[in-house]
Amino acid sequence: MIVRFKLLGIMFLSSLLVACNHSAYSEIDTQTDFIASVNIQEPSIDFIDSKGKQLAVWPLAEAYSGATLIGDDRILLYGHDLEHADIFQLSTGKRVTEIETGEGTTNALYDEQTKLVYLANSWANTVSAYDENGQERSTQKVGKYPMSMIRYNHQLFVVNFKDTMLSVLDAKTLQKQHEWKIPASSNGLVVVNNELWIGGHGSGSTPNDNVVRLNIKTGDMLKKVKLPMMPIAFLKDNNAIYVLSHGENVLHKLDTDGKEISSKEVGANPFTLASFSGHIIVAGYDDHKIYWTNGTEVERSQTVGTGPFQLLVREK
């Protein structure tokens, strides 16, 4: 009997420890628009409404390095050094499920059209597709260190960061369709008309100063747009293309032909930008702030968690 009680006690303690590791976070109202700053130096997420009011802060229990929203009420969190990804429900703050990914996840992308979550893995050099409940549907080998991804029409475009090729996959089956030549250390991409624009850090000690423009059907290089230094993040908003030059802390505004309209220094070591509530918002990784801009000038800034690395938007 004593042994039985000890065993029950150990089982109860174990369940408490598991619960503590994934305790519920603050609830996020389903009707509230927000921009979420995913911070990775001390992992946390700031949820901020359209007026700049902080709705909640999630002090993350694990070393998550990125996230993607799944529909309106779920968020998937992953970490490059974690062996799993977790899906949480925003309206309850509770974990819904865990996905065994293995270490090396570099990026996650949810696509509304296919209802799939794509996870890129730099250790296995694969892209895997999961349904909204975290069930794996398919996996495809790609190039070295897949990272940036975008879905357009029926294709998934994958930039392989430590390679000189871009993988073109069928968005539903992940069947490999094409491999196109791109510069080494490419990163960031956006579709503009019938073109795929790709940025990057640069190779070795030479920083990248160009955005490469490819024909989206053939992969042929059409031209380059000079944008020093290290253009790595893109955003298409109405008829403007915003490009973030990480190496010079500059937000560029271009027209769809690649002609620069304006440029403005914003933030310290910015990695990401997003459109929210009529603003173009830039995250400063080193100064731990997000900057609200009108696309050409900074309107205001506010402090978030340490190391804002990604911005997610829910706007109905």
For residue 17, the model assigns a pLDDT of 39
What does the pLDDT look like over 73-129, one tens digit per residue? 999 999 999 999 999 999 999 999 999 999 999 999 999 999 999 999 999 999 999
Res. 9 pLDDT band, cuts 50 70 90: very low
Which burial class, exposed, middle or buried, applies to 178 when counting CB atoms under 10 A from its CB (0-12, 13-18, 19+)?
Answer: middle
What does the pLDDT look like over 152-193, one tens digit per residue? 999 999 999 999 999 999 999 999 999 999 999 999 999 999
Percent of the chain beyond pLDDT 70?
Answer: 93
For residue 204, the model assigns a pLDDT of 75
Q: CA–CA distance from 125 to each of 35, 65, 135, 138, 152 (Å)? A: 31, 18, 20, 14, 21
- How many Å apart are CA 111 and CA 135, to the nearest integer? 15
- How many Å apart are CA 217 and CA 195, to the nearest integer? 8
Residues 296, 305 contacting (CB under 8 angstroms)? no
Res. 11 pLDDT band, cuts 50 70 90: very low
Across the range 203-213, mean pLDDT stands at 89
- How many Å apart are CA 39 and CA 17, to the nearest integer? 25
Across the range 288-303, mean pLDDT stands at 97
- For 267, how many CA atoms within 13 A lie in the half-sphere containing its CB? 32
For residue 21, the model assigns a pLDDT of 54
Residues 199, 208 contacting (CB under 8 angstroms)? yes
- How many Å apart are CA 101 and CA 69, to the nearest integer? 18
Q: Order of strands across the sheet with 195-200?
A: 186-192, 195-200, 210-215, 221-226
- How many Å apart are CA 285 and CA 248, to the nearest integer? 13
- C-alpha angle 260-297-34 in degrees, rounded to nearest 5: 105
Res. 217 pLDDT band, cuts 50 70 90: very high
- For 89, how many CA atoms within 13 A lie in the half-sphere containing its CB? 8
* Tally of CB atoms within 10 A around 22: 14
| Phi, psi angle pair for 3, to nearest 5° | -60, -40
Q: Is the pLDDT confidence value at 309 over 60? A: yes
For residue 22, the model assigns a pLDDT of 63
3-class SS at 4?
helix
Q: Which helix (H) or strand (E) holds 87?
A: strand 84-89
DSSP 27: -
| Phi, psi angle pair for 290, to nearest 5° | -110, 145
* Tally of CB atoms within 10 A around 102: 14
For residue 202, the model assigns a pLDDT of 85
For residue 4, the model assigns a pLDDT of 41
Q: Is the pLDDT confidence value at 59 over 70? A: yes
Q: CA–CA distance from 68 to each of 87, 88, 150, 242, 309 (Å)? A: 10, 11, 13, 21, 12
For residue 205, the model assigns a pLDDT of 77
pTM strictly above 0.85: yes
Q: CA–CA distance from 284 to each of 48, 64, 207, 263, 271 (Å)? A: 16, 18, 20, 16, 7
Q: Superfamily assignment of 32-314 in CATH?
A: YVTN repeat-like/Quinoprotein amine dehydrogenase (2.130.10.10)
- How many Å apart are CA 247 and CA 261, to the nearest integer? 20
